[in-house]
């Protein structure tokens, strides 16, 4: 696989000719609706590692065509006697195949995820975490229609996970007060655990993911004790236990977002810890990358110092945000899928740029009311960088939020760099 960045004047036909890959294959691999491209857009080009030399080819022309160098080609093809002579009909190795690392791959998805997004993703998943069973103050769980998703996942050989949250029924937001009740009232907690176990058994879930967010820092130890109790239940009843934690770079216990999450304890009691390494760029915040690579690396520096790396799944967003310019707290950014962002850039004739520090693409455009806007999102190049980071830190895997956002290029990039570890 090669990632090709579209230059001004490129067309699907010219790219097809350059790489000797059909237009239909390029369109299919990138799920392109038409023939128009955006300057700076990253395309996934799938081709074999061998190239058959044609009449008129030179080592320079081959290197230029495939975005490599003469030096690399000579190193990969020791059979070449002279760099000035390559014979038509001979085969050249174009690149050293990337070692595909075994990774556990989780993805969250709401119950209204589209069949198309689900079918695209399932061949590349170890776990599908169905969002969500929202706990209530009495320990009951709000019902969801998840049976078809469980069955679809199991038919694909993917482990279905039950996600339990502290989302309030009235506001629809994560509630610190609700979490406090669930973590401190033993009677309520017993009922919650009984209800979780009933659903695991009756619906054939193989794992439970605890996604309690905005836990009061004062409830940190109570959360640890709850996870310890859940780990005993999971071991006794034969299901896996994971937890989702807010991103942080140290053991701060005062921040409302992350103070209640004790990384070391979560790593001790859970089979996997999912780091929510996204939302640096968020709806009401500054326009920036949702998951800038340099910031994600800082979180991993800390996380891997207190959690066994093989237990960690690094969060990856399948979405971006579209902000007004100038920004205003009265007008939040709009969440946008990676695919929708790319198509918006094409439709608006925008030039996609790539931030080297954040390793993320962005572009500006003018909306239908002539107002300027800026979009940060993810593409195959940014995903490749994130997967390389997971490899560098020797993590257990990655976790996507969320399948409700279409992102076909991601699966091609993932498939080229990793093999999905079985559950």
* Under 8 Å between Cβ of 166 and 178: yes
Largest Cα–Cα separation, the chain? 80
Residues in the chain: 423
Say how many CA atoms lie within 13 Å of 336 toward its Cβ.
Answer: 24
Nearest Cα to Cα of residue 297 among 163, 407, 422, 388: 388
Alpha helices, DSSP H, located in 130-175? 147-155
Residues serving a catalytic function are 213
Alpha helices, DSSP H, located in 66-144? 70-76, 115-121
The CA distance from 398 to 315, in Å, is 6
User: Using the 8-state DSSP alphabet, how is residue 333 labeled?
Assistant: P
Phi/psi at 164 (5° precision): -110, 125
Instruction: Name 164's bridge partners.
Output: 133, 210
* Under 8 Å between Cβ of 226 and 186: no
The CA distance from 125 to 173, in Å, is 28
* Under 8 Å between Cβ of 408 and 31: yes
Query: What residues contact 68, with CB distance under 8 A and at least 6 apart?
Result: 94, 95
Q: What does R_g of the chain's alpha carbons equal in angstroms? A: 24
| DSSP-assigned letters across all residues of 12-60 | HHHHHHHHT--HHHHHHHHT-SSS---TT-EEEE---SEEE--TT--HH
The CA distance from 165 to 314, in Å, is 19
Nearest Cα to Cα of residue 20 among 58, 41, 40, 47: 47
Query: What residues contact 154, with CB distance under 8 A and at least 6 apart?
Result: 160, 204
**Number of separate helices (H) and strands (E) present in the chain:** 14, 18
* Under 8 Å between Cβ of 289 and 316: no
């Amino acid at each position: 696989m090669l990632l090709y960045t579209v230059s001004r004047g490129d067309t699907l036909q010219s790219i097809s000719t350059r790489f000797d890959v059909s237009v239909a294959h390029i369109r299919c691999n990138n799920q392109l609706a038409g023939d128009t491209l955006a300057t700076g857009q990253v395309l996934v080009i799938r081709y074999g590692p061998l190239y058959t030399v044609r009449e008129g080819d030179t080592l320079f022309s081959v290197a230029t065509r495939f975005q490599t160098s003469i030096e690399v080609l000579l190193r990969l093809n020791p059979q070449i006697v002279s760099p000035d002579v390559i014979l038509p009909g001979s085969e050249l190795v174009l690149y050293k195949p990337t070692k595909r690392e075994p990774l556990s791959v989780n993805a969250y998805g709401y119950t209204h995820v589209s069949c198309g997004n689900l079918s695209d993703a399932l061949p590349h998943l170890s776990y599908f975490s169905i969002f969500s069973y929202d706990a209530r103050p009495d320990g009951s769980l709000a019902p969801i229609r998840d049976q078809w998703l469980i069955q679809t996942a199991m038919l694909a050989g993917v482990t279905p996970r039950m996600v339990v949250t502290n989302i309030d029924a009235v506001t629809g937001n994560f509630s610190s007060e609700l979490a406090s009740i669930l973590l401190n009232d033993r009677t309520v907690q017993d009922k919650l655990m009984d209800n979780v176990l009933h659903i695991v058994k009756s619906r054939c879930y193989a794992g439970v993911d605890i996604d309690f967010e905005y836990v009061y820092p004062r409830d940190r130890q109570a959360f640890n004790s709850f996870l310890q109790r859940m780990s005993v239940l999971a071991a006794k009843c034969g299901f896996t236990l994971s937890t989702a934690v807010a991103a942080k770079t140290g053991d701060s216990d005062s921040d409302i977002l992350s103070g209640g999450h004790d990384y070391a304890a979560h790593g001790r009691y859970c089979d996997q810890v999912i780091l929510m390494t996204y939302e640096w760029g968020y709806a009401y915040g500054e326009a920036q990358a949702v998951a800038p690579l340099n910031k994600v690396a800082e979180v991993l520096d800390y996380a891997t110092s207190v959690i066994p790396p093989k237990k960690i799944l690094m969060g990856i967003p399948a979405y971006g945000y579209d902000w007004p310019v100038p920004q205003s707290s009265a007008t939040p950014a709009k969440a946008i899928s990676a695919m929708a962002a790319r198509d918006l850039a094409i439709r608006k004739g925008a030039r996609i740029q790539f931030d080297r520090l954040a390793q993320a693409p962005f572009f500006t455009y003018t909306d239908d009311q002539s107002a300027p806007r800026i979009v940060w999102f993810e593409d195959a190049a940014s995903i490749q960088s994130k997967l390389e980071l997971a490899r560098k830190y020797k993590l257990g895997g990655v976790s996507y939020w969320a399948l409700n956002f279409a992102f076909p290029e991601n699966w091609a990039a993932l498939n080229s760099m990793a093999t999905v570890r079985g559950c």
